[in-house]
Amino acid sequence: MTFVPGSSGGPRSLAPGLQQRLLVHLQRWARPRHSHWDRLALLAVRAELAALLAPLGPLEEHRFGVGSQAGCNLILRLPGRQSHRPPLLVGAHYDGPLHSPGADDNATGLAALVELAQHWAMQPPRRPVWLVAFDQEESGLLGSIALAAQLRASGQDLALMVSLEMLGYTSSQQRYPLAAMRHLYGERGDFLALVANFKALPLLPALARRLGRHVPTKLLPVPGAGRLLPDVRRSDHSPFWDKGYAAVMATDTSFLRNPHYHQATDTIASLDLPFLTAVTTGLAQGLSAL
């Protein structure tokens, strides 16, 4: 377990205007978009995402399920500087909670995903990267379950799967799934958490160091695919844990910090935009070097 302090010089943006671009994305997607109860809004978000991602490279519509469990993941595959390396998969879910605009959950992750895609299309990372907008996370992780199963069945290797899950909320108080963790990680909810299975650990120290130049970053290694701590499984990384992939959730700790989780009050006004900007910048630089 490692704490990496943020740099005293503050975050360096991907490019001038990053915080404003993130805000524009949030204003576009922070609205009810539940797969069952706000279907038309969800389809509109999917179309907007496709319009942004398609010019960057080959965009696949990965359809899964039938009936009420049907959905569509969007997958953008970008080349890396070393094409022979197994790809990095970075994903965020684009569906939203019931009766909530879902600004933190998960318009923040989606906004970061789009900015990472645009950055890597211009400046390829070390290895190939697949950027995935997952559908039906809020309905039982259906999109990530389908994709993880398909990749494992095809024998596809991944260097690391990264789930971007709620990246924009900070607080003076922080809760934990185990009370003893407070002594290790502190009282303040001002850090980005990297929640990883043991298979991902070899890659995490270097990633955390690079992230730590921009935002305080703390590691939580989780044994046994997180089954003893169910709260750490509640995002799209856990189906990849279950299929034996190295995977990590990057998060502001969700309901353990954010009182607006799955509420109508999960709005843009509640977010810490400089924090989200620092996280996005750190992810771009940290993941590019893996």
Q: How far apart are CA 100 and CA 135, in angstroms?
A: 16
pLDDT digits (tens, 9 = 90+) for 112-140: 999 999 999 999 999 999 999 999 999 99
In degrees, to the nearest 5, what angle opens at C-alpha 247 toward C-alphas 28 and 14?
45
pLDDT digits (tens, 9 = 90+) for 22-55: 999 999 999 999 999 999 999 999 999 999 999 9
At residue 283 the predicted structure's pLDDT band, cuts being 50, 70 and 90, is very high
Contact 75, 131 (CB under 8 A): yes
Fold topology of 3-223? Aminopeptidase (3.40.630)
DSSP H stretches of helix in the chain: 18-29, 39-53, 109-122, 142-153, 181-185, 204-211, 238-242, 273-288
Give the containing element (helix H, strand E) for 35: none
Beta bridge partners of 280: none
Q: Where are the domains of the chain?
A: 3-223
